Structure 1
Amino acid sequence: MPVEFLGIATTNDQSETSARSTRPFDLGYLERLVRAHADNGWTRVLFAYGSSGPEPAALAAHVAARVPDIELLLAHRPNVSYPTYAAKTFATLDQLSGGRLSVHFITGGNDHEQRREGDTLTKDERYARTQEYIQVVKQAWASDEPFDHHGPFYDFDDFVLDTKPFEGRTPTISFGGSSDAAYRVGAAEADIYAVWGEPLDRTREQIERVHAEAAAAGRTPPPRIHAAFRPIVAPTTELAWEKAHRVLDRIEARKAAAGGTLSRRHPITSPENAGSQRLLAIAAAGERYDDVLWTATAKATGGAGNSNALVGTPEDVAQALLAYYDLGVRVISARGYDLLDDAIDFGRYVIPLVREGVAERDARAAAAARADEPAVADEPAA
């Protein structure tokens, strides 16, 4: 089965380890970064969402017109628009990009960040709203006739989209979260379920939970699984770990210079969202898992999003990723701390090894299937 790779698209080069050296809104940097992903084997790039950041749909439209050979993943929060408007925006972007759009729905795990844009619902209410929102978007994409909707969060009559997604396709919907409500909603509605990189046994537990919730919702097959990591790669294992500790030192230095914080969006201590709580609990239990998974970066950032690292040579990291593939992970998100150079290096040195390993697995599976086929008796002569 194919494996896909997700990178990041952003308008400046700031990361947890360094202040930006570009302008805050640098279209040239955005295009170079996306072009680097497209030229080095990545499948798609993510346009992230934050209350203070640039509007990601506009950035995706800009990139769609300038980089024609990479897919686009648009992050979207349901609190910022009505679902009929969102369905129209997504369909328009899918047309502009020639069918390259996917949408990642973010329910929101931080009450304070949500209130910055007027969202005062509780966490469980937000998940219920997200499910209704996704259902409306799907119906708008699919329906050729006007329809009415009367739900707990949205109420409208006689809506139909004249502009549908490109050539009748349905853009892929992805979704993430580690709470009970997240598993329930995402497993019922999403095509891809996103988890943050955790040790193999914890990842297996999450996949089993998603599959169980999908079965309970009558979903066959279940969503594909997406796992996210921060690769720290060097030519030798020793150099990779030296690099990893330099990364950690730079994170701590930036945090100290900023008075103990890294982002207005995420607290260093006591995060509200279940995913970050899981990452911090794993980090508290141990710093290194499965040889190459390193939790020190997650601990230093408060479990802020994609923050567990994979440390090693390209071969080490590729073998680690293939172990996740063997669990059922089919989409790998990888973002380095030097966004541009690390995207190039990961694409050149790690992605080909992972794809080679997947191809070998596919070939073995095909050979085994052929071996299991019953022999066909020769037809009798006339």
Structure 2
Amino acid sequence: MPVEFLGIARTNPASEVTPRPGGPLDLEYTARLARAHEDNGWDRILFAYHSGSPDPSQVAAYVAGKTERINLVVAHRPNVAYPTLTAKTFATLDHLSGGRFEVHVITGGSTADQAAEGDFLAKDDRYGRTREFIQILKRAWSSEERFDFAGEHYQFEQFVTDIKPLTQPRPRISFGGSSAAAYAVGATEADIFALWGEPLAGTREQLATIEAEAAKAGRADRPIIQIAFRPILAPTEELAWEKAEAILGRIKDTAAGAGAGAGRGAGADAGRGAGAGAGRGAGAGAGRGAGAGAGRGAGAGAGRGAGAGAGRGGGGGGGAETGGGGGVGKGRLRSATPENAGSQRLLAAVAAGERHDRALWTAPTGLTGAGDNSTALVGTPETVAAALLDYYDLGVRIFSARGYDIYDDAVDFGRYVIPLVRDEVARREAHERRDLAS
């Protein structure tokens, strides 16, 4: 199947390296960022969820009117609305967007953030609720007859919705998690299983577990695998790693409350200038043979200082599984031990070293406590494309990417990395078709 790319929808420019310049909802920026993704080859954008953030479904409805092609993935927690209402709301949104809606169902990885909205279920019980929630969505979107549901978490009688999704047979449902309960639910119910970016060995292990759980459930197909990274691009490897270190400094400054000045100084030059030029020259001819020779020597210096700073901030952690960026830019380093298995796995990767495989860098993860998608792929567009193809070889088919300078990095990644990966995947698929025909 073709490879897909998922970006991030944001309602303001804040990130780990950029303090929020104004209020939480900047409509002009929201629309401009969505169009930048659409104009630069992305397939989908994610509207993240956090207990205090603007409502993602309403933001998605606004963006639907400002874009034409890009799919809109709305993160949603089952605790905030009954599934019968959610089914109608999202079916309506699918019509408003012209059939471009998808949903990312979040079980919730932070007890504190769940409690902020009145949800006090234990974590494993939340996964049970998520299973029922997805089952009800599927049934409500397809059933022409009234139906009953009697589960542990939801009970109702004789429900039917007049409005069905425009997308047929229905919008895709994605899901994320790395605990035993998460594997069981996602492998059984989800169309897309989302993971955070780990070293190749850990990712291979997770994919095997998902495969086993899907087989155990008797599922005929398998969920599409999605994985998330933070790209750091520059025209040369040396400049990319200089930029990476500058970004690390900006993360520290922003978290300490000093980001207002740091974001416009040396770190800003490294984060914006290097990224903006990443494609000029480096990516200009980048579409040729990305996978073929891109890895040559790529791992040679990868181990440089691999364990040097592995412990930096590694004791932090504890963020919600928001689906990409909830609470980012609030100027706080996390300090609590993370509850969710995904964060714990990322911190284990930090403890094993800062650099892994072809281009994976975990230093930002250690600094921010792995509360969200935080592992980076560092290098030229060719190196980052080749690193993504390493995950493609494992079975990953959707790549989620979000830079640190949100807008500029979305443009650069779309211009200089996405074409490389698509071209190489197309080349491989054509080769496979020729082999089958011969």
Counterpart secondary structure, 2:248:
helix
Residue in 2 that maps onto 1:145: 145
1:249 is the counterpart of 2:249: yes
One-letter identity of the residue aligned with 1:219: R
Q: Distance in 2 between matches of 1:351 and 1:8?
A: 15
How has the CA–CA distance of structure 1 residues 263 and 272 changed in structure 2, closer, same or farther, with 3 Å as cutoff? farther
1:282 is the counterpart of 2:349: yes
Higher relative contact order (CA 8 A, sep 6+): 2
5+ residue gaps in structure 2? 259-312, 317-328
> Could you tell me whether the CA contact under 8 Å between 2:7 and 2:44 is conserved in 1?
yes
Q: Distance in 2 between matches of 1:32 and 1:150?
A: 44
1:57 is the counterpart of 2:84: no
Counterpart secondary structure, 2:65:
helix
1:187 is the counterpart of 2:254: no
One-letter identity of the residue aligned with 1:129: R
Once the two structures are superposed, residues 272-291 of structure 1 have per-residue CA deviations (whole angstroms, 9 ceiling, x without a partner) of: 11100100111011110013
Once the two structures are superposed, residues 28-66 of structure 1 have per-residue CA deviations (whole angstroms, 9 ceiling, x without a partner) of: 000000000000000010000000000011011111112
State the 1:268 CA deviation. 3.4
> Could you tell me whether the CA contact under 8 Å between 1:16 and 1:251 is conserved in 2?
yes
Please show how residues 156-175 of structure 1 align to structure 2 within 5 Å.
Answer: 156-166=156-166, 168-175=168-175
Q: Distance in 2 between matches of 1:159 and 1:310?
A: 47
Counterpart secondary structure, 1:300:
helix
State the 1:83 CA deviation. 0.4
Please show how residues 203-214 of structure 1 align to structure 2 within 5 Å.
Answer: 203-214=203-214
Once the two structures are superposed, residues 324-358 of structure 1 have per-residue CA deviations (whole angstroms, 9 ceiling, x without a partner) of: 11110000000000000000000000000000110
One-letter identity of the residue aligned with 2:431: R
> Could you tell me whether the CA contact under 8 Å between 2:174 and 2:190 is conserved in 1?
yes
Please show how residues 1-382 of structure 1 align to structure 2 within 5 Å.
Answer: 1-166=1-166, 168-257=168-257, 267-371=334-438
Normalising by structure 1, we get a TM-score of: 0.94
One-letter identity of the residue aligned with 1:37: H
> Could you tell me whether the CA contact under 8 Å between 1:50 and 1:265 is conserved in 2?
no
Q: Distance in 2 between matches of 1:3 and 1:224?
A: 10
How has the CA–CA distance of structure 1 residues 266 and 64 changed in structure 2, closer, same or farther, with 3 Å as cutoff? farther
One-letter identity of the residue aligned with 1:69: R
State the 1:257 CA deviation. 2.8
> Could you tell me whether the CA contact under 8 Å between 1:129 and 1:153 is conserved in 2?
yes
> Could you tell me whether the CA contact under 8 Å between 2:103 and 2:173 is conserved in 1?
yes
In the alignment of these two chains, the number of paired residues is: 371
State the 1:126 CA deviation. 0.2
One-letter identity of the residue aligned with 2:108: G
Counterpart secondary structure, 1:257:
coil
Q: Distance in 1 between matches of 2:374 and 2:242?
A: 18
Counterpart secondary structure, 1:310:
strand
How has the CA–CA distance of structure 1 residues 92 and 236 changed in structure 2, closer, same or farther, with 3 Å as cutoff? same
Q: Distance in 2 between matches of 1:149 and 1:265?
A: 43
How has the CA–CA distance of structure 1 residues 22 and 359 changed in structure 2, closer, same or farther, with 3 Å as cutoff? farther
State the 1:254 CA deviation. 1.9
One-letter identity of the residue aligned with 2:370: G
How has the CA–CA distance of structure 1 residues 209 and 329 changed in structure 2, closer, same or farther, with 3 Å as cutoff? same
CA RMSD of aligned residues (A): 1.7
Q: Distance in 2 between matches of 1:221 and 1:150?
A: 27
One-letter identity of the residue aligned with 2:44: R
